[in-house]
């Protein structure tokens, strides 16, 4: 089993592919032949999810949809950290804070068009932290 903390830099509000950052963090540990990787974001106003990574319009469409669905509602009471605070919590709850991804042949076993996204839901967010936990059968020289 292996666990590490991935510190992401500040990202602007929107949806950002972080697959390469996760894969890089996995290369820092013994290579698993088969197993599971769990990602957990330690924040309530950002999210993790898997979606298409080929067409950048997916990111802008996701942001437009989430903005339309959750932003600027007159009935929000939780605005202590700004008007984007409650919408960020709702988006995080809808999209999720953790992922489990199979590991095969030492890497993430994602589909051809799949990528790991960070959903940054705050207008002025700080850096984010993700806990990566991997477990499985460690490769041995054959």
Is the predicted pLDDT of residue 142 greater than 70, yes or no?
no
Task: Tell me which residue has tokens 């002025």.
Answer: 124
CA distance 114 to 123: 26
Q: Is the pLDDT of residue 122 over 90?
A: yes
Mean pLDDT of 41-45: 98
Strands (E), the chain: 2-8, 14-17, 32-41, 46-52, 98-104, 107-108, 114-120, 128-138
pLDDT digits (tens, 9 = 90+) for 59-116: 999 999 999 999 999 999 998 899 999 999 999 999 999 999 999 988 999 999 999 9
Q: Of residues 140 and 6, which shows the higher confidence score?
A: 6
pTM attached to this predicted model: 0.94
Token digits of residue 93: 């709850």
Specify the pLDDT at position 31: 82
Domains along the chain with CATH numbers:
6-122 (2.60.120.460)
Q: Please give the mean pLDDT across all residues of the chain.
A: 95
Structure tokens at 43: 């924040």
121 vs 90: CA distance, rounded Å: 9
């Amino acid at each position: 089993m292996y666990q590490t903390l991935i510190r992401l830099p500040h990202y602007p509000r929107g949806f950002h592919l972080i697959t390469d950052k996760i894969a890089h963090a996995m290369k820092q540990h013994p290579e698993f032949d088969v197993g599971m990787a769990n990602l957990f974001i330690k924040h309530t106003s950002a999210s993790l999810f898997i979606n298409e990574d080929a067409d950048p319009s997916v990111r802008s469409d996701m942001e437009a949809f989430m903005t339309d669905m959750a932003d600027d509602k007159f009935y929000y009471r939780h605005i202590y950290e700004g008007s984007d605070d409650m919408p960020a919590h709702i988006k995080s709850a809808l999209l999720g804070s953790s992922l489990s991804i199979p590991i095969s042949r030492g890497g993430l076993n994602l589909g051809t068009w799949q990528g790991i996204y960070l959903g940054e839901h705050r207008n002025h967010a700080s850096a984010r932290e993700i806990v990566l936990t991997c477990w499985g059968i460690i490769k041995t020289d054959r």
